[in-house]
Chain A
Amino acid sequence: MRAFFSALRRGDAWIAALAVGLIAVAFFVVRKADPGTAVRVRSAAGEQTLSLSADRSVTVTGGGYTLTVTVRGGRVCVADSDCPGQVCVRTGWISRAGESIVCAPAGVTVTVEGAAAPDGVVR
């Protein structure tokens, strides 16, 4: 056990501190990003835009799969999908301009749009 801890070096603490700082800055920058105003839902069948201020659910189909896209309280998520992988469902709620949910198997993207350019974070 002692050999285990004596292997640690001071540099480890610096790297950990750098990591924590980087994470803090990243969270800070993301928090300041624009709130979204609308949601654009794209699929092979076409495209529709939903307002983020009106709660509703729509179903979108693509690639033989059916997704339920839900807008509630200014946020949007894929509430349900029968696609394999479930990456879109696990992405959870998004609400800021430029954020998106992608369901690769169904070929569906859900993108939040805001007043500013979607590249807001990078500026």
Chain B
Amino acid sequence: MKEKNTVYRVAFAGLLGALCAALSLLEGVIPAVPLPGARWGLANIVMMFALTEVSLPLACGVTAVKMLMALLRGGTAFLMSAGGSGLSLMVSALLWRFGRNRISLLGLGIAGALAHNSGQLLVARLLLGAGVWYYAPWLLLMALISGTVTGLLLQALLPLLHKIQRKGC
């Protein structure tokens, strides 16, 4: 039984990693956001699911996949994604560790998106100069919107995901 569990866990981790990679690519194809550099953060849904329903190590793994996918879009995109995803993971993990009874996926989504775009901005500041500050309010506004959307989306998808997750266990 224990062995079966391990096999299941590895398979499930692979599934989430693949989903994260697919969503990262998909997002590159739909430039629905009029702000350059801003993205919907669909792959962040997978990270939030991994963090809240499975474990922190898996959330780290999923984030690593996300960063690698950004590498396909070039060095600058990778550095910005790494700064954003890293900060987002840290803030999300801390919030969920200490406040999981006080916040839901909605709060987690907003906080994660804010952290992501702030991290992105800090890296952009280092790479491109002080001009990016003018862009900060729009990027933060975008974080509030995309964080709300992704948080509520995961909340709505959760019953479905639970079905898939528990079947094998």
Contacts and interface: CB of A to CB of B under 8 A. Distances in A.
Interface residues of B, number: 33
A121 B133 contact: yes
A14 B102 CA distance: 10
A122 interface: yes
B107 A15 contact: yes
Interface size class of A (residues with CB under 8 A): 35 or more
B144 interface: yes
Given A4-B156, A16-B144, A19-B114, A102 B104 contact: no
A111 B131 CA distance: 8
A41 interface: no
Given A11-B103, A22-B114, A90-B34, A100 B137 contact: no
B76 A26 contact: no
A23 B141 contact: yes
Interface string B92-135: 00000001011111110011001000000000000011110110
A102 B124 CA distance: 12
A115 interface: no
Contact of B102 (A11, A27, A111, A122): A11
Given A87-B36, A99-B134, A122-B133, A9 B103 contact: yes
A121 B134 contact: yes
A15 B128 CA distance: 29
B41 to A, nearest CB: 14
Contacts of B76: 104
29 contacts: A7-B155, A9-B101, A9-B103, A9-B104, A12-B107, A14-B107, A15-B107, A16-B110, A16-B144, A16-B148, A19-B143, A23-B137, A23-B141, A87-B36, A87-B37, A90-B36, A94-B134, A98-B129, A98-B133, A99-B131, A100-B128, A100-B131, A104-B76, A118-B130, A118-B131, A120-B130, A121-B133, A122-B130, A122-B133
Interface of B: 34-37, 76, 99, 101-107, 110-111, 114, 128-131, 133-134, 136-137, 140-141, 143-144, 147-148, 155-156, 159
Interface of A: 3-4, 7-12, 14-16, 19-20, 22-23, 26-27, 30, 33, 87, 90-91, 94, 96, 98-100, 102, 104, 111-112, 118-122
